[in-house]
Structure 1
């Protein structure tokens, strides 16, 4: 229900919580917080928002964003009536939010990006939520939003004031290498542990054509390989295998931060990709194909290797299962490394959107009550509360009804890797903890019992699936997180898009052998002059204040 997928102190909130706990009004505050979750209280309060009309959301008959079972449930259960100032299609939603901010006619609460959060804070248009959050957020909510050590909440703070509720999700979303294991067996090839292994496999898949298409390639890549949204057919994990990283800020070994896009390890990775392109291991038309178009070569047995996120099997199933029969066999592997050091999978912060509350809002506590209720019903709903996910009939019907909920946050950390593979292998439902685990278990067991349409879930959650690889990655800290978590700096806001466009242009020309790999060095110098140096200075000035 939420995309899926850090030990900084949260001093301001902790101090305030301590004072509250010690005060003579402690019991009263706790009762108010409990009432916020249970719906007890004096009368109904109204809060306005704005909503994206998602193409995957299907209302029950006679319902819409004005009147629906979810809004009715919030009003009934917690005494908060939700209204919309406007509703827009998802493709136009972000642009309309910009217009709304510019007009100054704000709803009581609404989602914004990090740049908008900073601008609204500086313009004094949104509310400091520190006090209302401390007072009305339940203990469950406070624990839920600081499971990562407080990092994500820290990103919403300015001058020790909580200016928004982060729309959280699990930042530990790793990338993996997916390989046709039936082809590995057919060609007697080892499982990929190093980049050398990966190259050997790519060449064998190209030259020996185990799929029999007559036009095979070694690795699937699409036209936006460095885009954060490219969860399959991307190149981010390929870079990680060379200890190179895509547009994050990393430590320079001297107490400062540098941008990963201009580091020498990137040049090494680009040289390897250029060599693959020259050998015909990469589809020469990749630069004009989106992920789904490139994936057609995977479905059609033309490519048997691709980097992707944990959910990639949900896409691979389109080729792996046909007419109810399994026709392709895939395995998931950790990112291969170029040397003896393990590859670190780069991860983000787990938050790129925030819920802000207008300074003119009459009932900001209503927003916190919505937050409390969402966390409660998303994690341990009663039978009656399933209305928030499925609608008034409380039955799954593929409507994505949960998208109606006006304020949603996701779990920052899960233990799916420890629990699901064991539960599925041993058919042990007793160790399942979360609603997500129970849902995944049920789907995987359908596959075990012969439902091939659930092949993808078994490859994700089963004994040798994607999730089974995560505990070792976590234990050995084989990940690297972006060290910059502030709002975009002035130069970043002005020049970042230009720098990324220039980067992609040069990277592509190198990969496609249109220019020498040494063109990377020229790009680095140009990057610095076009704003990179100024951006680096600003980032390091920010970094000094966080040590």
Structure 2
């Protein structure tokens, strides 16, 4: 089962920019000047009774202009909304023709940087936003204050980040509880040492377990992985147990930014995986299997635990022990006795714990630098998003539409979109303009009171219980040397990890990787990372 963000994009998406789009932004950057952005209007007190706002609120799913929600908001705020449907590529073309909307929804922090660099975005200082949109800022400060580092460029803030309180696409560990029971293991393992003991016991009872669950199986492995070319798939729950997190930038004990591959615990994690592989605990196909192959084996009952596609949102939806998604349901058809148990990622020898995570972020809300000369319009835009974020009834309207028509409250009091409005592609949804919270063009934010009032309590409780996220301290922001270093380093590290874990190369091969990093641009890349961290995140 593939999970995506409840907003408009998942950070897992491979960002593809057209050459035309990049050239447009480069051209605009060359033509821009300091007056184009970076400064607020001289006077934002004037507020015309009726202004027209071109509003780009969604780069993914299209909605009909002049939809039900849009018309209701026009009446409520006495404005005319000119709604703009545009993906990223079209947005670049609109920028090139000097027709960028007043309000923009941008997917990623590097989009914010590109548009700010090109002079297309109005600076929105945090202090100014705290005055104009206090409820929105308060929520960001409570949930993820470091997210302001993603919306800034050259120490100036150019957008409002969307913060996610409970991240359903974070991962945990999903055990086959029935297999633990068959091996005589009464408690779900919580530490690496307990994993060792559990793996040994299950391996010793392997033939009986196979006979009792799926006699057609040839092998029973403790776990596997999928698509090892991507950092987030590389058994990160085990590296986190040793205080490491390859594929990311992390802080070392001295507080400096270093590559996760070079943190001291990386070597010990490799040795532990090497030991488990030698004992036959890891499916050798972890090197080559993709998601489909992994899923098929999980559904046949070949794995004891799942740390690859075990999303926290599934744990909440399933209640824990029952099938969490269609893949689990297919496993239950093959093995009717299958039960599940969810746990945090394991704790290592020194008490460390963690799993790769994208962080509590979604997309970015920005306004055109053109509004520098239109203070009344800027005031109106900020008034609208702040009022919607703070007014429960208005937020429900903006996110879900009309009660009884497009949504209803479930037994817990949570609003739920009704068919056919639960499908973003239907004509009814497009006419209503209701895309749910966060993805909504007009309700990208919610106050803490509204967030807590309508949060899925099941998701909230499970996330608090299972979350051990360890995001990149730079949130994946590109660095000057990234274009040269990122792919080369990832390929070199992946080769090193696989060769060491499978026993093809000795552990000294990891030392060779560290030497390669230092001899091939690593120190300069690391210096850039420390500079960016200091500029954007330190003290946040």
When the two structures are superposed, what TM-score results if normalisation uses the length of structure 1? 0.69
Q: Contact 2:139–2:448 (CA<8 Å) still a contact in 1?
A: no
Alignment correspondent of 2:55: 48
Cα distance in 1, alignment partners of residues 456 and 460 from structure 2: 9
Q: Contact 1:350–1:412 (CA<8 Å) still a contact in 2?
A: no
Matched, 1:434 2:453: yes
Cα distance in 2, alignment partners of residues 375 and 254 from structure 1: 40
Give the 3 Å change call, closer, same or farther, for CA 485–175 of structure 1 in structure 2. closer
Give the 3 Å change call, closer, same or farther, for CA 332–487 of structure 1 in structure 2. closer
Q: Contact 1:110–1:355 (CA<8 Å) still a contact in 2?
A: yes
Q: Contact 1:47–1:366 (CA<8 Å) still a contact in 2?
A: no
Alignment correspondent of 2:407: 394
Matched, 1:508 2:498: yes
Q: Contact 1:348–1:482 (CA<8 Å) still a contact in 2?
A: yes
Q: Contact 2:164–2:360 (CA<8 Å) still a contact in 1?
A: yes
Cα distance in 2, alignment partners of residues 250 and 480 from structure 1: 9
Matched, 1:311 2:318: no
Q: Give 1:521 deviation, angstroms.
A: 1.6
Q: Contact 2:357–2:470 (CA<8 Å) still a contact in 1?
A: yes
Q: Extract unaligned runs of 5+ from structure 2.
A: 11-42, 318-322, 409-417, 425-433
1:183 to 156, 162, 179: 179
Matched, 1:263 2:263: yes
1:215-294 aligned at under 5 Å gives the runs 215-224=219-228, 226-228=230-232, 235-294=235-294
1:2 to 6, 11, 16: 6
1:70-85 aligned at under 5 Å gives the runs 70-85=69-84
> In the TM superposition, what whole-angstrom CA distance separates every residue of 1:56-112 from its partner, at most 9, and x where no partner exists?
x8xxxxxx433433333332333454445553xxxxx44555566666653322304
Cα distance in 2, alignment partners of residues 165 and 358 from structure 1: 13
Give the 3 Å change call, closer, same or farther, for CA 343–385 of structure 1 in structure 2. closer
Alignment correspondent of 2:100: 106
Cα distance in 2, alignment partners of residues 528 and 101 from structure 1: 41
Alignment correspondent of 1:336: 346
Cα distance in 2, alignment partners of residues 269 and 414 from structure 1: 42
1:371 to 370, 375, 385: 385
Cα distance in 2, alignment partners of residues 164 and 179 from structure 1: 41
Q: Contact 1:128–1:161 (CA<8 Å) still a contact in 2?
A: yes
496-505 or 161-170: which moved more?
Answer: 496-505
Tell which has more relative contact order, 1 or 2 (C-alpha 8 A, sep 6+): 2
Give the 3 Å change call, closer, same or farther, for CA 372–329 of structure 1 in structure 2. same
Give the 3 Å change call, closer, same or farther, for CA 390–260 of structure 1 in structure 2. farther
Q: Contact 2:390–2:446 (CA<8 Å) still a contact in 1?
A: no
Give the 3 Å change call, closer, same or farther, for CA 393–467 of structure 1 in structure 2. closer
Cα distance in 2, alignment partners of residues 82 and 227 from structure 1: 42
Q: Give 1:301 deviation, angstroms.
A: 1.7
Alignment correspondent of 1:495: 485
Q: Give 1:493 deviation, angstroms.
A: 4.7
Alignment correspondent of 1:355: 365
Alignment correspondent of 2:28: none
Give the 3 Å change call, closer, same or farther, for CA 391–131 of structure 1 in structure 2. farther
Give the match's secondary structure for 2:175. Answer: strand
Q: Give 1:544 deviation, angstroms.
A: 4.8
Cα distance in 1, alignment partners of residues 142 and 507 from structure 2: 43
Give the 3 Å change call, closer, same or farther, for CA 82–385 of structure 1 in structure 2. closer
Q: Contact 1:71–1:82 (CA<8 Å) still a contact in 2?
A: yes
Q: Give 1:143 deviation, angstroms.
A: 1.7
Q: Contact 2:277–2:501 (CA<8 Å) still a contact in 1?
A: yes
1:124-143 aligned at under 5 Å gives the runs 124-130=119-125, 134=129, 137-143=132-138
> In the TM superposition, what whole-angstrom CA distance separates every residue of 1:131-159 from its partner, at most 9, and x where no partner exists?
99538844322322221373223442346
Matched, 1:192 2:189: yes
Cα distance in 2, alignment partners of residues 103 and 527 from structure 1: 43
Give the 3 Å change call, closer, same or farther, for CA 236–103 of structure 1 in structure 2. farther
Q: Give 1:179 deviation, angstroms.
A: 0.9
CA RMSD of aligned residues (A): 4.1
Give the 3 Å change call, closer, same or farther, for CA 176–384 of structure 1 in structure 2. closer
* Number of residue pairs aligned between Structure 1 and Structure 2: 453
Cα distance in 1, alignment partners of residues 449 and 340 from structure 2: 25
Cα distance in 1, alignment partners of residues 448 and 299 from structure 2: 33
Q: Give 1:437 deviation, angstroms.
A: 3.0
Cα distance in 2, alignment partners of residues 239 and 245 from structure 1: 6
Cα distance in 1, alignment partners of residues 244 and 279 from structure 2: 23
Give the match's secondary structure for 2:122. Answer: coil
Q: Contact 2:191–2:348 (CA<8 Å) still a contact in 1?
A: yes
Q: Contact 2:178–2:337 (CA<8 Å) still a contact in 1?
A: no
Cα distance in 1, alignment partners of residues 403 and 423 from structure 2: 7
Q: Contact 1:69–1:387 (CA<8 Å) still a contact in 2?
A: no
Q: Give 1:127 deviation, angstroms.
A: 0.7
Q: Contact 2:231–2:247 (CA<8 Å) still a contact in 1?
A: no
Q: Give 1:124 deviation, angstroms.
A: 2.3
